[in-house]
Structure 1
């Protein structure tokens, strides 16, 4: 028997497709049940008030048509839309049409009312289902785009430092006649390249955590100043010559977050201020309350952001800015696209702007009170 030549990648993709659950036509959830009950209750109450004000019976039908429309639009699947259509017919025919509290299937408008409610329910449920499917497809497309940009950036960011490490270590091993200063310089270059690789791998792990959880991360209330302190501790260890100042409010700011991911965002922004600010000597890291949000900010006194790069700053499509040595490590598209993905996964927003001197990157995350509502 001939052995199958299916590649592991294709087999994995096929397995994922087979394991994907088909969308349910009649899903049940307590949230949809409460929505349906609430809307039908409001429809009944409105009909009662209108009957008390007017003796005519024509108001019930449009009210229940509106109720069925809202239920079908706000719930998932067809279950509650169809149930509301049936209950709407009962409300129109049995409760709010003469003879009251008695079924009368001989009423001329009864079949039309039933067909109207049923049609409204089916059409609205179908449109709602398609809209939600399109939203899921759009989210998947954005995720695939992010992964494609990530792979495009990483393919160069990993290869170039590895080549440099190999060159530096080979030069030390193969040239024993090198002076101590020359050996030290080559080893320091290899160390710097290894640190760069560590940062790239950390960004990869952050993206993987978000992708595996389908952008649904576990958030716990964390003190914002503690997260800032941890990011500053790591930064000062790597860049002792750069002055960094921290500003935080006196009151405790509890922000629902994945602390490790937000620390990664702050680390990326702090490192960008050093590497891409070029002339940066001082950084201000701050957090403050803005309404229902906590605003994190990283401001530097460097050379600022080229205006032409602002529109594509966070999508990972920045052109690579080679250094004089041609190492190609000055592209910040990868780190910033990771930052944006993490902030979006926290239901936050992110922006960047130039200051009179330097640049400022900031992002906003919902405070604990808003998340708990």
Structure 2
């Protein structure tokens, strides 16, 4: 009940942005009519032009206010400027009331349809956010439970068995340390995707960064953790500057390499590369591990991979959260991402625009 009184006020709210849009469209309509009047002495062309102006204003402004104002100004302008006698009002013109009502109805109907369309799009976005939050909660609850259980088990064993040898204690502590590292990665992913998904407050700060340096930092951290896997790096000879948030893109690369090591199961090699492809920088992460099941490829990046498809009791088998984080970060940079099985191994590829203009034009 409390939302109803506020709705009309939102539909008839004044804003300078809408004012400038309306003024610009009306000015263009007036100029066009003047040019046509200089080329043709006959009347009648102004009405359809102002109808078009009302349609455009209703489409590109919020609510009804400026569409209604445009319809009134359009009728007045057609009467005063572009209908004989020129530069004078004549309310006795045949068909004048019909013209006024037509413009008014066009404005109201178009404004209603466009406002409803915008509201439906807003609802769709909100539903997508809720769906993503639900997937996050499901993924995080599963991914956190098993590592916590392992940490509790390892530490409890040490506390309750003082007679354990130093090597046995060290092995249990290393297991707890590894599980704690996994939890840190889960929390980092959760914070990143929450930041990206909150479009009302999130701002991606992008600066031109050397792609090779970001790639090298991610590889350095990966090698420290997965020393048994051979990593090769391929980068162009010339410096490639890419507008990005380097911390977030480094996280994307880290997630992809860790997925290759953990979920590839038989992975012994990882190749990370970056190259320029037209107006984009193309990053790729290849591994020689097992293929991704074909049924999982369509939902690979949306966090909906079912835990029933993974090894029982293995909290690290779900890669949905990490990959949904990657997709969210790349999408926030205006880029695209894909994964495919090759004859040998799996390759993940994402592309980032090389200019701010391309990012701004991205839907």
| TM score, norm. by length of structure 1 | 0.86
Displacement after TM superposition at 1:372 (Å): 6.5
Displacement after TM superposition at 1:165 (Å): 1.1
Cα distance in 1 for partners of 2:54, 2:343 equals 56
8 Å contact 1:292–1:367 — kept in the other structure?
Answer: yes
CA-atom RMSD, angstroms?
Answer: 2.4
Cα distance change on mapping 1:56 and 1:292 into 2, 3 Å: same
Q: Which of residues 199, 216, 232 in structure 2 aligns to 1:229?
A: 216
Q: Select between 265-274 and 291-300 the one with higher mean Cα deviation.
A: 291-300
Q: 1:145-294 maps to which residues of 2 (within 5 A)?
A: 145-214=131-200, 216-223=202-209, 224-294=211-281
- Matched residue, 1:128: 114
| 1:315 aligned onto 2:302 | yes
Q: Which of residues 320, 329, 337 in structure 2 aligns to 1:333?
A: 320
Displacement after TM superposition at 1:29 (Å): 4.3
Displacement after TM superposition at 1:323 (Å): 4.0
| TM score, norm. by length of structure 2 | 0.89
Q: Which of residues 41, 50, 58 in structure 1 aligns to 2:44?
A: 58
Displacement after TM superposition at 1:130 (Å): 1.5
Displacement after TM superposition at 1:28 (Å): 4.1
8 Å contact 1:297–1:361 — kept in the other structure?
Answer: yes
Cα distance in 1 for partners of 2:311, 2:165 equals 27
Displacement after TM superposition at 1:240 (Å): 2.4
Displacement after TM superposition at 1:66 (Å): 0.9
Q: Deviations for 1:170-206, whole angstroms, at most 9, x for unmatched residues?
A: 2233234444443333222212111111111111111
Q: Select between 336-345 and 30-39 the one with higher mean Cα deviation.
A: 30-39
Q: How many residues align?
A: 354
Cα distance change on mapping 1:225 and 1:27 into 2, 3 Å: farther
- Matched residue, 1:101: 87
Q: Deviations for 1:110-156, whole angstroms, at most 9, x for unmatched residues?
A: 11111111111122122222211111111111111111001011111
What is the SS of the residue equivalent to 1:205? Answer: helix
8 Å contact 2:145–2:315 — kept in the other structure?
Answer: no
Q: Which segments of 5 or more consecutive residues in structure 1 lack a partner in the other structure?
A: 1-16
Displacement after TM superposition at 1:369 (Å): 4.1
- Matched residue, 2:99: 113
Cα distance change on mapping 1:221 and 1:247 into 2, 3 Å: same
What is the SS of the residue equivalent to 2:11? Answer: coil
Q: Which segments of 5 or more consecutive residues in structure 2 lack a partner in the other structure?
A: none
Q: Deviations for 1:257-300, whole angstroms, at most 9, x for unmatched residues?
A: 33322222221111001111112222222223333332222111
- Matched residue, 1:47: 33
Q: Deviations for 1:238-260, whole angstroms, at most 9, x for unmatched residues?
A: 12232222233344444343332
